[in-house]
A = this chain, B = another copy of it.
Amino acid sequence: MALIILAHPNIEVSLANKTIIEELQKEKNLNIEVRNIAKMYPDFNIDVREEQQALLRHQTVVFQYPFYWYSLPAILKHWFDEVFLYQFAYGSKGDKLKGKNFVPSFTVGSSEESYTALGFQHFRVLEFCKSLEQTAYHSQMKYVDPIYFHGTSLAAGYTEEEIRNKAKTHAGRLIELLRSCD
């Protein structure tokens, strides 16, 4: 049913992203394939054909990652650069992803208030997502508005329990979305 491209450079030390993936994997009758690309490709040497085959097996693709510098972790950007090729994802014959659901699912370190014109992040989260949105359109995929939550930074004072609870709520929303895509 759904392909989960997990792009966390070190999922073992993650709190939020790890909880989300665990919740997905615990869920009964949810048919997902999780690909932990940072672990699979520690030297960034992506197996393009294998990743393209994985995409072809599914109708929905979820990108699960932490927001890094207002964008994707490099391993996920590399995955797009390598896998979304001309005449596969775009171009005159590049319609292999046409109609598939494109679902960004990420976690943001600082607060919602910080992501406003008067906050220290200056822009709203969705303003930072346009590159991803247009990547979906250029590949003829159905862009689904991102699922995300704020406050995963322990340094900023959020507690482990808070983060885990928010991650569980996030996972619940994602599961609901995946069931509705089914």
Q: Give A contacts to B, CB under 8 Å.
A: 9, 43-45, 68-75, 77-78, 80-81, 84, 86, 120-123, 127-128, 130-131, 134-135, 137-138, 155
Contact = CB atoms under 8 A, between A and B. Distances in A.
Contacts of A138: 120-121
A69 B43 contact: no
A30 B81 CA distance: 33
A52 to B, nearest CB: 16
Contact of A131 (B71, B75, B78, B134): B71
A70 B122 contact: no
Contact of A130 (B43, B75, B123, B137): B123
Count of this chain's copies in the oligomeric assembly: 2
Query: 3 nearest interchain CB pairs?
Result: A74-B78, A70-B131, A74-B77
Contacts of A78: 44, 74-75, 78
A70 B84 CA distance: 13
B69 A84 contact: yes
A80 B84 contact: no
16 contacts: A9-B81, A43-B43, A44-B44, A69-B81, A70-B130, A70-B131, A71-B77, A73-B81, A74-B74, A74-B77, A74-B81, A121-B134, A123-B130, A123-B134, A127-B130, A131-B131
Nearest to A79: B74
Nearest to A78: B74
Given A44-B44, A69-B77, A80-B69, A122 B135 contact: no
A171 to B, nearest CB: 25
A136 B155 CA distance: 21
